[in-house]
């Protein structure tokens, strides 16, 4: 019984908790760009609200991972690493996973309403859940449609950003910044597919992810570069539109970061499939801190 408990915990993919930290840029952006909105909140609320929103986002993301675990089990059997997942090996039950999913959704919905009393937050959390359902579950299963698959998967990025944003600002949305964040997420997701296409055999890749059979290395690389350009252009438009022209000076350093990720996607599959693992690489970690410092300096000098 204790062994099965461990397998159920493993299927929740809690090790991916850093992805839900994507709400923090949205929260910080709302405070920085709309300082008047923060006057209605106490200091304690400003400290505790992002933590509560993070937990709620993590719970919805966990629910989506459960759906993915169940829907992808027949396909994961063809992946050299994912075939070891508990559900694929038959050591846990899909029915029990769905019960856990239901409990998570009910608890998250009630907690979100009681803590924030915000319909916008409930809608945004629901959108994150809906994106997971559309991505994974037949007959739509956008995961199997080339180009749309990574585009929807990367929508989790701006949705999480928006969750952090609506905690502070309920009725205004930073559209250029959202599009930029979305394009950056799509850039990462395409890198994942580049690595899968390169390092999995033809049979493994097409059986594990059907959309991969409809891609070529060239089309993936072109789509990756296109999203990098969309990211850079919309980021620049956001910087100009928000009056933060000093952010434009960070663009050359961002381009270096994008090139580093492209190179990593072509070198091995682990870093591309799990981008957070890149932070274990001292060069990526140090350069990420350097970029954060650049943004802070740009904000101070604005």
How is residue 141 written in tokens?
């299963």
Which pLDDT belongs to residue 174?
84
DSSP 209: -
* Rounded Cα–Cα distance for residues 174 and 177 (Å): 5
Q: Does position 100 have pLDDT exceeding 70, yes or no? A: yes
pLDDT tens sequence across 165-182: 999 886 777 889 999 999
Of residues 198 and 273, more confidently modeled = 198
* Rounded Cα–Cα distance for residues 105 and 128 (Å): 12
Q: Does position 1 have pLDDT exceeding 60, yes or no? A: no
pLDDT band at 114 (very low <50, low <70, confident <90, very high): very high
* Rounded Cα–Cα distance for residues 282 and 272 (Å): 16
> Minimal CA–CA distance to 78: which of 232, 230, 204?
204
61: which residues sit within 8 A by CB, 6+ positions away? 16, 19, 20, 128, 156
pLDDT band at 133 (very low <50, low <70, confident <90, very high): very high
Query: For 1-173, which CATH superfamily applies?
Result: UbiA prenyltransferase (1.10.357.140)
* 3-class secondary structure, 173: coil
**Cα→Cα distances 132→82, 90, 188, 289, Å:** 19, 23, 17, 31
Which pLDDT belongs to residue 214?
83
Largest CA distance in the chain: 58
* Rounded Cα–Cα distance for residues 281 and 137 (Å): 35
pLDDT tens sequence across 220-274: 989 999 999 999 999 999 999 888 899 999 999 999 999 988 887 777 655 555 6
**Secondary structure E strands in the chain:** none
Q: Does position 277 have pLDDT exceeding 80, yes or no? A: no
CB-based contact 251:221 (threshold 8 Å): no
* Rounded Cα–Cα distance for residues 96 and 47 (Å): 36
The domain locations on the chain are: 1-173, 174-302
pTM: 0.84
pLDDT tens sequence across 60-74: 999 999 999 999 888
* Rounded Cα–Cα distance for residues 208 and 277 (Å): 22
Q: Where are the alpha helices (DSSP H) in the chain?
A: 2-11, 23-33, 43-76, 86-89, 94-116, 119-136, 148-153, 156-168, 175-199, 202-208, 217-241, 251-267, 269-273, 282-300
Of residues 199 and 228, more confidently modeled = 228
Which pLDDT belongs to residue 76?
82
CA angle 170, 58, 271 (to 5 degrees): 115
> Minimal CA–CA distance to 61: which of 15, 114, 28?
15
């Amino acid at each position: 019984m204790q062994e099965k408990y461990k397998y159920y915990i493993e299927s929740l993919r809690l090790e991916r908790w850093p992805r839900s930290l994507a709400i923090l840029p949205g929260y910080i952006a709302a405070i920085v760009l709309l300082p008047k909105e923060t006057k209605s909140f106490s200091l304690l609320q400003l400290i505790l609200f992002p933590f509560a929103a993070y937990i709620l986002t993590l719970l919805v993301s966990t629910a989506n991972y459960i759906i993915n675990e169940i829907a992808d089990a027949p396909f994961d059997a063809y992946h050299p690493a994912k075939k070891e997942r508990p559900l694929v090996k038959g050591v846990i039950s899909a029915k029990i996973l769905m019960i856990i999913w239901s409990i998570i959704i009910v608890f998250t919905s009630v907690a979100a309403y009681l803590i924030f009393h915000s319909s916008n937050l409930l809608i945004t959390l629901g959108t994150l859940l809906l994106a997971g359902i559309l991505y994974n579950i037949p007959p739509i299963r956008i995961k199997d449609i080339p180009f749309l698959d990574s585009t929807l998967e990367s929508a989790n990025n701006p949705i999480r950003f928006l969750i952090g944003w609506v905690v502070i600002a309920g009725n205004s949305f930073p559209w250029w910044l959202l599009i930029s964040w979305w394009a950056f997420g799509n850039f990462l997701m395409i890198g994942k597919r580049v690595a899968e296409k390169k390092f999995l055999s033809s049979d493994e890749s097409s059986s594990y992810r059907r959309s991969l059979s409809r891609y070529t290395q060239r089309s993936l690389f072109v789509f990756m570069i296109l999203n990098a350009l969309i990211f850079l252009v919309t980021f620049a438009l956001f910087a100009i539109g928000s009056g933060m022209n000093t952010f434009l000076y960070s663009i050359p350093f961002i381009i270096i970061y994008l090139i580093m990720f492209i190179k990593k996607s072509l070198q091995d599959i682990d870093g591309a499939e799990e981008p957070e693992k890149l932070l274990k690489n001292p060069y990526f970690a140090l350069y990420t801190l350097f970029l954060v410092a650049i943004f802070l300096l740009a904000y101070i000098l604005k």
